[in-house]
A and B are shown apart, each in its own frame.
Chain A
């Protein structure tokens, strides 16, 4: 930890340790920037840790990112302060002074071993989330479950002295005091999250007195394996499994209830879908699930498919209605919902066993105060006012926002904003002179290949954790008698500084060449002991850890004899295995620090400018002959931002930037290399001359196309235009617009159809935007918007509301009964079925605007995907590594995707993704070389039968039959799963670190002992 620099401003303060804050901190740390991460809670993790599973994968996926995070960077660059809040802020961008106040934890984190004795004896006064798991065990997967220690609630403690005594590590410190500290920083990222709307005061929903009316978050806890019902779905009132569950959407959102926000909370539709699907999936198929909704807003990437699955595969019932009330007839446990349907005027009553209120996001009083202290302005809903094209930039320079504090959103968007904020916050840091790092002591590795194995076994007592259950001396004696063991020793706390030094010395003095540690889990401590071996002059892969704490003494403490025998076995197995270990080399390759950005639209240019400003050489390869992309055709945003000025300004900056080279009319034709050192060939310019670019990072910002389906007389009648054309027409021909009497807009033209199942995301707000623009020119125009679901998410809802207030008529149509459009001389007749009137209505429109949305550029994406070997979604967009947690990283390291190449989105959202990509790219660009670890599969060509089984077995397509006729696996591309190894019929492949002889040595050792 670089505490010594606390008084310097060379760092970023991140407020809020939820998923977003963690992402921001990790991005900065991996890019070698100093971070202070604070959270008011006593561990970090935020709201996501309360979720059972997440949409659309229905998994808890945190584990899949954890292995990619580098432990050492975390330790070196992040200072984590829990139970800490901001008290005061002064100064300005580049030089803030912040006072942080930490509440007392009464536990010394340095000493606490998380043994749990205090919790066992004084459960009332100890606060503990084993990492994060108390609420959701799935999230313990995340090694960031930090700090893994306890905190004491002194007010609840009756016998303080006894409590202090119980802690053998002496970690309980009653003198702990609130601490104020002054820190300096260059920039601040706020991601304190948001609260969830509390529906208690809405008496007609009965939330406060009917136990079976729960919020969506509470329902999530009921579904969760670690929840109050142990993962069983039970009605709180009866303890029986419900047969009928209903969800009511928009509770606290869209301005419908008292104290509700005017905005749409963005994530609740997907949230409810997930809960309904999981209910069916995990429990009984025959539980009836009904969602009462106003508009299903599944506008995210592939979210529409999720909605379709809910409808078609899981039989979730959708009722477009807002129930009037939830009542409970006396003497029953039923919940009676009364509602009306959209095609009826009758009142219906229906019984349910449970009702889930889909409560939206709301800013909390705490965060409002925080905003005030920071000096950032808030909008009328108390969310920060942000820059029109850049939603993470607040009104105060140097202060950035991300996540649900910025506005209601789901996890992927939070992750994107968090990375984007990291990018911009890092840009405010002072130029760091790359410190001529004190030349690392060249670690000389002893060559042990020809030596007879000489094993040292070091066994920890880990305080009482091991020592109180088993007799460590017995273990030592047993280990000493094993073959090849030269030294066996008890080491107290093996990971303590003094023990580590003792182990190092012993290795050197005794000339050991293999080491076994009997202690805790290799998951947490392997790296530490590997470092130690290196310091002792041994290859770091010559150590093995026998997990005798987590997997023996902790779980068999009630049977100490068995525990001891098992510990003996585990140590013996590790010795047998380490004898077979041989020195391995980490695969590293040098990092080329040039960046190739494919696509010169707003997204590509934003990413390029960010990286070029940091001093990296950037190449923009643009397919057309000019920069700007689709934005060249756009005029204003919904909020009134001037897009043309924005684009022009950006193009100017790009063109004049010393570190950016723009290549227009560029056609990418070939690509080779590996992460960190790619070579891409392209033809460019009028002559299509060929050139190659060497680069370490590739950013895909290829955009999407505006869709143009042959429907509703488009391209047949001059009166039919796309929304894009309409906007320009309004701008160029206001006089003609003044003549319009009736205008009709049809939504979802070419989107949410069989051929293109996804939602284009941008069209609803486009229709609202153009409607308002038409009314500005011609207030008497009558505008009819024919829609399927209005998806004006988040703050767009306000404009939808405004459009309705100004008289725009919104009429829902059914996909099975689309409007009929006929040319009728100077007008266009649009006939639609009005469900409320129960009859067809024909409008003679002067103009018909079609919301045609976006589609992926199939041809060029397909081409690029083939050249770069990248996956795409079914509808042709690039598919990121992890939809939830790595939304801009591609599965191939070194590749990133942003903007509409990822999925349809607005300019603000594209800019945010572009910033995010720049941050993610910098985490790689900050490294001088890329280490790929040593766990790779290696083929023995002499044994190989070239049968192709490995080629087919590899999930990543790495093995190939080389020119010499045997299989070859590029260790730089191998992910190290070992599937080829286990399928090879010639036993020609071995996985380093997990070789067959090492695994079998363990097996044999285990039984040798038993049969002996």
Chain B
């Protein structure tokens, strides 16, 4: 457990968070390598199914990163995403997973710092929560 390195999937909107991740890169802002980014055209495209599948396959944490409030390139994708995340969080609780393993964050394209910061905080949080009970059992 001490050497537990969580695997975290970050669904990032092309127009904001994905760009912010690139920005964190060009500014060489380190964050934990546990975070693996999957690019999507809009946080509103991230299906509840994508999220639960990630957990089913063994993700220790998942987050969806969309644009700041009012900044969505497609009007309201980030708002829809936030609602969806709240819904899936409840489902995770039903399954017996801590809902804290899933999170919605808002990051604008320019916020390289914030991207790195969010990646670090979420990784730390998941590290404290420990390995996903699903992965732990699956590998038994």
Interface residues of A (CB under 8 A from B): 57-61, 63-64, 67, 114, 116, 130, 133, 136-141, 225-226, 521-524, 547, 549-552, 554-559, 562-563, 565-566, 569-570, 573, 935, 953, 955-956, 975-979, 981-983, 991, 993-994, 996, 999-1000, 1002-1004, 1006-1008, 1010-1011
Contacts and interface: CB of A to CB of B under 8 A. Distances in A.
Contacts of A557: 28, 30
Contact of A982 (B19, B33, B48, B111): B48
A549 B23 CA distance: 11
B39 A57 contact: no
Contact of B110 (A138, A563, A955): A138
B36 interface: yes
Contact of B73 (A57, A64, A573): A64
Given A1002-B38, A1007-B59, A554 B26 contact: yes
B135 interface: yes
B9 interface: yes
Nearest to B112: A137
B18 interface: yes
Contacts of A569: 36
B22 A547 contact: yes
Contact of B46 (A58, A64, A982, A1010): A982
B78 to A, nearest CB: 11
A552 B25 CA distance: 8
Interface in B1-40: 7, 9, 14-16, 18-19, 21-31, 33, 36-40
Interface stretch (B49-57, B89-97, B98-106): B49-57
Given A551-B21, A1007-B7, A1007-B59, A935 B36 contact: no
Interface residues of B, number: 59
B108 A141 contact: yes
B36 A566 contact: yes
B109 A140 contact: yes
Nearest to B47: A982
B30 A555 contact: yes
15 contacts: A57-B70, A114-B26, A137-B111, A141-B108, A225-B113, A225-B114, A554-B28, A573-B38, A956-B74, A977-B74, A979-B80, A994-B45, A1003-B59, A1006-B57, A1011-B138
B77 interface: yes
B82 to A, nearest CB: 13
B18 to A, nearest CB: 7
Contact of B15 (A63, A570, A1007): A63
A953 B28 CA distance: 38
A993 B77 CA distance: 18
Contact of B45 (A555, A981, A1003): A981
A60 B19 CA distance: 15
A79 to B, nearest CB: 25
A996 B48 CA distance: 11
B40 A550 contact: no
B19 A977 contact: no
B22 A550 contact: yes
Nearest to B81: A982
B16 A550 contact: no
A890 B77 CA distance: 21
A63 B73 CA distance: 8
B104 to A, nearest CB: 14
A953 B79 CA distance: 12
Contacts of A551: 21-22, 25, 37
Contacts of A983: 80
B65 interface: no
Contacts of B80: 953, 979, 982-983
Nearest to A981: B45
Contacts of B76: 955
A167 B74 CA distance: 42
B33 A566 contact: yes
Contacts of B138: 1011
A557 B27 CA distance: 12
B70 A59 contact: yes
Contacts of B18: 523
Nearest to A59: B71
Contacts of A570: 36
B74 A979 contact: yes
The 9 closest A-B pairs by CB, nearest first: A978-B45, A550-B25, A138-B110, A977-B74, A137-B110, A141-B109, A554-B25, A1007-B57, A562-B33
A559 B50 contact: no
A312 B75 CA distance: 26
Contacts of A67: 15, 73
A556 B30 contact: yes
A982 B44 contact: yes
Contacts of A565: 33
A60 B16 CA distance: 12
Contacts of A558: 30
Contact of A549 (B25, B70, B135): B25
A60 B73 contact: no
Contacts of A59: 68, 70-71
Interface string B55-72: 001110000000010110
Contacts of B57: 1003-1004, 1006-1008, 1011
B48 A555 contact: no
Contact of A555 (B7, B25, B77, B111): B25
B42 A977 contact: yes
B41 interface: yes
Contacts of B108: 60, 63, 138, 141
Given A979-B44, A1003-B38, A140 B74 contact: no
A140 B58 contact: no
Considering residues A569, A999, A1000, A1003, which has the most beta carbons from chain B within 10 angstroms of its beta carbon? A1003
B19 to A, nearest CB: 6
B36 A140 contact: no
B110 A1003 contact: no
A1003 B50 contact: yes
B44 A1000 contact: no
Contacts of B41: 935, 976-978, 991, 993-994
B122 interface: no
Given A555-B25, A563-B33, A999-B38, A979 B45 contact: yes
